[in-house]
Amino acid sequence: MSSQKGLEGIVATETSISSIINDQLTYVGYKIDDLAENSSFEEVIYLLWHLKMPTQAELDELKADLTANMNLDTAVIDHLRSYDLSSVHPMAALRSAVSILGLYDKEADVMDEAANQRKAVRIQAKIATIVAAFARIRKGQDPVGPKEDLSFAANFLYMLNGKEPEDVEVEAINKALILHADHELNASTFTARVCVATLSDIYSGVTAAIGALKGPLHGGANERVMAMLTDIGDEENAVPYIKEKIANNEKIMGMGHRVYKSGDPRAKHLKRMSERLTKLTGQPKWYNMSVKIEDFIKEEKGLPANVDFYSASVYHSLGIDHDLFTPLFATSRVSGWLAHILEQYDNNRLIRPRAEYVGPDTQDYTAIENR
Ligand SMILES: CC(=O)SCCNC(=O)CCNC(=O)[C@H](O)C(C)(C)COP(=O)(O)OP(=O)(O)OC[C@H]1O[C@@H](n2cnc3c(N)ncnc32)[C@H](O)[C@@H]1OP(=O)(O)O
Ligand SMILES: O=C([O-])CC(=O)C(=O)O
């Protein structure tokens, strides 16, 4: 029995939700480029959960359902207030808060398909509110509830900032939400599937997935990209800074990908958004710096920028706190996690691989006083 480190190249499940073939990403067969240019996040949620595009009536119903479920139980808000607001990372707050949500959902352990669909709507809606509410609470502000006539993207910004966003901001967040929604068997989605394949509940699956997304080799990279750009400071410093990191064998955040070798198809959309938004905000240096890093790493190491790289300067330009970048990723990716959880329940088998044992040979037990 031999192992494949990091399960590279292992096909662990079948899915009808998304695919990466020849470096092209599709959701249910629809190209990510078409969806990013033409669709709304709510339409993509529907697509991922039902494996078909919604009619107008179906879309309207989902939108209304999401908005109606965005409000949080006061017990959950009280919980957010009880955290150490000066030090708790918003991803840790989100992970704990989603677990808490499950405690207040009477259907948490009801396993039929209709109940799971209802819980999916509640979780998708409330995650956006938790991220926004926590961000406000830690600034000493009260949480703001959703507005009925706003889209998911607009409501997220409204609940975060307490004022209605500009069209350009809504467009950017809507596109970012679409681009991050699903990605085949990435680490957090696999985590969610492993968890619910034991027939554990949907809240456990999403909580586990948030934990996996938090790490810097996965979703946590976007916050670190911005930390790196901030550290670099100006365009002239970009290449010398990166050269030094490479010389020290350090990884450059937002660069490289397990699956894509020629390039991450989502990155070009975020790159264009970054160029536009950094110009609009009068801070083109974030974009220019990013391009220098991308070109250098491509040339030097042959590695492409991944989805996390340009999302950093996009979110920064939208005035979003840097430690909210990964929670924003989670607000989108939860749609994919939920789709995969429902798919896993639908055709379940326990996920239980084997390990190649490389420890010592059989050993004799020695009583503690003789060791
Ligand atoms: C949404 C997402 O999750 S996208 C990924 C977000 N994460 C990041 O951006 C973190 C930085 N990137 C990385 O750590 C990696 O590229 C990963 C984790 C994304 C994929 O990694 P893997 O497929 O496991 O490749 P692995 O880490 O084994 O790297 C292979 C080689 O490329 C190098 N490499 C990979 N990524 C980078 C990087 N970002 N910077 C510098 N070198 C890198 C490694 O050092 C290694 O070199 P070696 O063979 O000489 O030792
Ligand atoms: O798929 C992966 O390995 C990581 C990634 O890009 C994502 O989750 O979007």
Q: What are phi and psi of 18, to 5 degrees?
A: -145, 160
31 lines ligand 1 (CB under 6 A): no
143 lines ligand 1 (CB under 6 A): no
Atom 4 of ligand 2, residue of closest alpha carbon: 186
Per-residue tokens: 24: 């092209």
256 lines ligand 1 (CB under 6 A): yes
Q: Count of CB atoms within 10 A of residue 147's CB?
A: 14
Instruction: Report the CATH number of the 221-317 domain.
Output: 1.10.230.10
**pLDDT value, residue 38:** 98
Per-residue tokens: 70: 């965005």
If you measure from the C-alpha of residue 224 to the centroid of ligand 2, how many angstroms do you get, rounded to a whole number? 16
Atom 48 of ligand 1, residue of closest alpha carbon: 249
Per-residue tokens: 109: 């352990």
261 lines ligand 1 (CB under 6 A): no
CA distance 307 to 341: 23
CA distance 132 to 327: 9
If you measure from the C-alpha of residue 183 to the centroid of ligand 2, how many angstroms do you get, rounded to a whole number? 6
If you measure from the C-alpha of residue 354 to the centroid of ligand 2, how many angstroms do you get, rounded to a whole number? 24
Residue closest to 301 by CA, chosen among 259, 268, 347, 255? 255
Q: Which residues have CB under 8 Å from 365's CB, separation 6+?
A: none
25 lines ligand 1 (CB under 6 A): no
Q: What is this model's ipTM?
A: 0.98
Per-residue tokens: 97: 């808060």
**Domain residue spans of the chain:** 17-166+182-215+324-346, 221-317
Substitution candidate for ligand 2 out of 177, 258, 331, 334 with most atoms within 8 A of CB: 258
Measure the CA angle with vertex 63, ends 196 and 94; round to 5°.
Answer: 45
Q: Rg of the Cα trace of the chain?
A: 21
The per-residue DSSP string of 275-332 comes to HHHHHHTT-THHHHHHHHHHHHHHHHH-PPB-HHHHHHHHHHHTT--GGGHHHHHHHH
Burial class for 276, CB neighbours closer than 10 Å (0-12, 13-18, 19+):
middle
What residues does 21 pair with on adjacent strands?
Answer: 24
If you measure from the C-alpha of residue 349 to the centroid of ligand 1, how many angstroms do you get, rounded to a whole number? 31
- Write down the pTM of the prediction: 0.97
271 lines ligand 2 (CB under 6 A): no
Place of tokens 């959880």: 341
**pLDDT value, residue 2:** 85
Residue closest to 78 by CA, chosen among 126, 128, 130, 122? 130
Closest listed ligand to the CA of 25:
2
pLDDT digits (tens, 9 = 90+) for 138-156: 999 999 999 999 999 999 9
Q: Please identify every residue annotated as catalytic.
A: 257, 308
Substitution candidate for ligand 2 out of 259, 269, 326, 328 with most atoms within 8 A of CB: 259
Q: Count Cβ neighbours within 10 Å for each residue of 124-139 and write b for 16 or more, e otherwise.
A: bbbbbbbbbbbbbbbe
Q: Please list the pLDDT of the chain residue by residue as tens digits (371 residues).
A: 789 999 999 999 999 999 999 999 999 999 999 999 999 999 999 999 999 999 999 999 999 999 999 999 999 999 999 999 999 999 999 999 999 999 999 999 999 999 999 999 999 999 999 999 999 999 999 999 999 999 999 999 999 999 999 999 999 999 999 999 999 999 999 999 999 999 999 999 999 999 999 999 999 999 999 999 999 999 999 999 999 999 999 999 999 999 998 999 999 999 999 999 999 999 999 999 999 999 999 999 999 999 999 999 999 999 999 999 999 999 999 999 999 999 999 999 999 999 999 999 999 999 999 99
CA distance 216 to 210: 13
**pLDDT value, residue 1:** 78
Atom 28 of ligand 1, residue of closest alpha carbon: 258
Closest listed ligand to the CA of 311:
1
If you measure from the C-alpha of residue 105 to the centroid of ligand 2, how many angstroms do you get, rounded to a whole number? 30
CA distance 292 to 286: 10
Looking at the structure, give the CATH architecture of the domain made up of residues 17-166+182-215+324-346. Orthogonal Bundle (1.10)
pLDDT digits (tens, 9 = 90+) for 19-78: 999 999 999 999 999 999 999 999 999 999 999 999 999 999 999 999 999 999 999 999
If you measure from the C-alpha of residue 167 to the centroid of ligand 2, how many angstroms do you get, rounded to a whole number? 28
Place of tokens 């080799």: 217
**pLDDT value, residue 127:** 98
Q: What are phi and psi of 76, to 5 degrees?
A: -70, -40
Atom 23 of ligand 1, residue of closest alpha carbon: 258
Identify residue 35 by its one-letter amino acid code.
L
